[in-house]
């Protein structure tokens, strides 16, 4: 604080870029950065930062299961660590939701590395694969109360390695501030684009099988959430057809304060994603869209989430999507299947008074731990809501026939789609 009062450094050009998106310096042929062990280790950053490990899976009966560990640092205050779990059954419309402030959080646990963690209420144990045919896995054990216990083994699919956008230790990072060597903040995501869960959860004394495909993401927002982004979009599609198909996207739009020409030039949209086809990681996508610029439809790389139809939602005050369109396009990264891969997902989520697949409209402020709400003023002036949907959807995809026979002529792949649209300010 005092250094900012008495700084003698040269003034910064007010029109200098103060946001540096992850895709800016990455060539289309270098979008795939394979994960290194350190990429998914817990860093437990100080200051104002949120670090998460999140597992999303679809079960055999169509149920969506999400398990997440959240490490929230709030200035000089001791961090808050939560284990959250949301299970939604689209057949019964039942939602199980748990958010537990855990105690005695430790990483690494004894004899393990920092990809693992434990607390009184849970343990997540990383097991590295012995070789290329024995993929990495996580074992999740959680006791979230008398009415919910979880026991899962989540194994990465052998042909779909974990990835970040761009290679090396800075792969995956979008940075805020004019000085990239000392950024004011950052956002980073590392993914497993397709995994397989096996296990069960026990709800109110009843054991329920929990088997099915999904994804894993380790993410850090290294800045106050209201400064990072005004909007987020997320898509997670999985299908067991054609040997395994996955399509994921994570997108955020900066606030007006961070952009290509400094404060006031923001609302820059950054999107990263991937396609798994035939059980193999076929493409990694990343795209940056600047305000008032229309990106070309025929670009070599496309990674885009569009609210193609919207309507005012009186519950939240936002123009909520009634239809979303997600698009992926990039060169294939499979050595013996060269060519372009192109995929589109369109989902009708209905209107606010007649939703389709809506799990919940989450009032984020109602979920933030009390200690954070009362001590930090970053929530002032924001009204964050997360729309969550689960629908059956069709991925329209084309690409080299070496990935899936007949792919060059186009295939329609049926699967499950979990979607989030987040409005912060």
pLDDT tens readout for residues 114-135: 999 999 999 999 999 987 778 9
- Average the pLDDT over 169-198 and give the result: 95
Task: Encode pLDDT of 241-265 as tens digits.
Answer: 999 999 999 999 999 999 999 999 9
Task: Encode pLDDT of 26-39 as tens digits.
Answer: 999 999 999 999 99
Q: What percent of the chain has pLDDT over 90?
A: 83
Mean pLDDT of the chain: 92
- Do the strands 94-101 and 77-89 form a parallel or antiparallel pair, or are they unpaired? antiparallel
Domain containing residue 51:
11-423
Q: What percent of the chain has pLDDT over 70?
A: 93
> Which helix (H) or strand (E) is 71 found in, with range?
strand 64-75
Q: How many domains, in total, are found in the chain?
A: 1
**Residue 377, burial from CB neighbour count under 10 angstroms (0-12, 13-18, 19+):** exposed
- Average the pLDDT over 178-190 and give the result: 94
Say if 395 falls within a structural domain.
yes
Residue 3: predicted pLDDT: 38
SS3 262: strand
Q: Which backbone phi and psi does 382 adopt, to 5 degrees?
A: -115, 155
DSSP string for 278-300: TTEEEEEEEEEE-TT----TT-S
Q: Looking at per-residue confidence, does 181 or 113 come out higher?
A: 113
Q: Looking at per-residue confidence, does 295 or 115 come out higher?
A: 115
Helix residue ranges per DSSP H, 337-423: 364-367, 370-375
Task: Encode pLDDT of 207-227 as tens digits.
Answer: 999 999 999 999 999 998 888
Residue 366: predicted pLDDT: 76
Say if 229 falls within a structural domain.
yes
pLDDT of 376 strictly over 50: no
User: pTM value?
Assistant: 0.94
Q: Give the range among 9-18, 114-123, 132-141 with minimum mean pLDDT.
A: 9-18
> Which helix (H) or strand (E) is 185 found in, with range?
strand 185-203
Say if 345 falls within a structural domain.
yes
Closest CA to 327 of 232, 233, 400: 233
**CATH code for the domain in which residue 324 is found:** 2.40.370.10
Residue 77: predicted pLDDT: 73
Say if 404 falls within a structural domain.
yes
**C-beta separation of 148 from 89 below 8 A:** no
pLDDT of 197 strictly over 60: yes
Tell me whether the omega of the peptide bond preceding residue 232 falls within 30 degrees of 0, making it cis: no
d(CA 234, CA 52): 15
Largest separation between any pair of C-alpha atoms in the chain: 66
d(CA 231, CA 319): 12
Task: Encode pLDDT of 323-369 as tens digits.
Answer: 999 999 999 999 999 999 999 999 999 999 999 999 999 988 776 65
Length of the chain: 425
Say if 200 falls within a structural domain.
yes
Say if 6 falls within a structural domain.
no
Residue 381: predicted pLDDT: 64
**Residue 371, burial from CB neighbour count under 10 angstroms (0-12, 13-18, 19+):** middle
Give the up-direction half-sphere exposure of residue 168: CA atoms within 13 A in the CB hemisphere.
5
Tokens of 137: 């896995």
> Which helix (H) or strand (E) is 154 found in, with range?
strand 148-156
Residue 369: predicted pLDDT: 59
Residue 1: predicted pLDDT: 32
Say if 259 falls within a structural domain.
yes
Q: Which pLDDT band, with edges at 50, 70 and 90, does 9 fall under?
A: very low
- Average the pLDDT over 262-283 and give the result: 97
**Residue 207, burial from CB neighbour count under 10 angstroms (0-12, 13-18, 19+):** exposed
Closest CA to 115 of 192, 205, 178, 30: 192
Say if 4 falls within a structural domain.
no
Closest CA to 352 of 386, 316, 325: 316
DSSP-derived letter for residue 76 is: T
Tell me whether the omega of the peptide bond preceding residue 108 falls within 30 degrees of 0, making it cis: yes
């Amino acid at each position: 604080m005092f250094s900012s009062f008495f700084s003698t450094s040269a003034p910064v050009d007010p029109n200098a870029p103060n946001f540096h998106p992850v895709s800016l310096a990455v060539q289309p042929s270098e979008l795939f950065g394979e994960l290194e062990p350190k990429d998914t280790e817990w860093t437990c950053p100080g200051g104002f930062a949120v670090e998460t490990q999140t597992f999303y899976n679809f079960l055999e009966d169509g149920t969506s299961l999400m398990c997440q560990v959240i490490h929230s640092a709030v200035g000089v205050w001791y961090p808050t660590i939560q284990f959250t779990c949301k299970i939604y059954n689209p057949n019964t419309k039942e939602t199980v939701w748990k958010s537990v402030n855990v105690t005695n959080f430790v990483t690494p646990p004894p004899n393990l590395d920092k990809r693992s963690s434990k607390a009184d209420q849970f343990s997540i144990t990383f097991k590295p694969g012995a070789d290329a045919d024995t993929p990495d896995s996580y074992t999740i054990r959680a006791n979230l109360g008398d009415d919910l216990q979880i026991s899962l083994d989540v194994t990465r699919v052998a042909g779909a390695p974990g990835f970040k956008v761009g290679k090396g230790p800075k792969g995956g990072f979008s940075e805020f501030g004019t000085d990239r060597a000392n950024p004011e903040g950052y956002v980073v995501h590392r993914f497993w684009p397709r995994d397989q869960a096996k296990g069960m959860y026990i709800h109110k004394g009843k054991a329920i099988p929990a088997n099915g495909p999904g994804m894993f993401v380790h993410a850090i927002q290294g800045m106050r959430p209201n400064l990072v982004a005004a909007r987020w979009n997320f898509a997670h599609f999985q299908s067991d057809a054609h040997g395994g198909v996955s399509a994921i996207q994570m997108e955020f739009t900066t606030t007006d304060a961070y952009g290509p020409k400094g404060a006031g030039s923001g609302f820059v949209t950054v999107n990263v994603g991937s396609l798994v086809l035939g059980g193999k990681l076929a493409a990694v996508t990343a795209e940056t869209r600047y305000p008032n610029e229309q990106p070309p439809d025929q670009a070599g790389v496309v990674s885009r989430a569009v609210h193609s139809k919207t309507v005012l939602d009186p519950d939240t005050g936002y123009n909520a999507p009634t239809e979303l369109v997600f698009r992926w396009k990039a060169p294939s990264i499979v050595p013996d299947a060269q060519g372009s891969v192109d995929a589109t997902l369109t989902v009708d989520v209905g209107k606010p008074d007649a939703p389709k697949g809506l799990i919940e409209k989450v009032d984020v402020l109602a979920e933030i731990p009390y200690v954070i709400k009362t001590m930090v003023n970053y929530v002032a002036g924001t009204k964050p809501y997360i729309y969550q949907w689960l629908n059956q959807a069709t991925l329209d995809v084309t690409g080299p026939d070496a990935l899936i026979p007949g792919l060059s002529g186009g295939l329609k792949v049926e699967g499950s789609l979990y979607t989030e649209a987040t409005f912060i300010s």
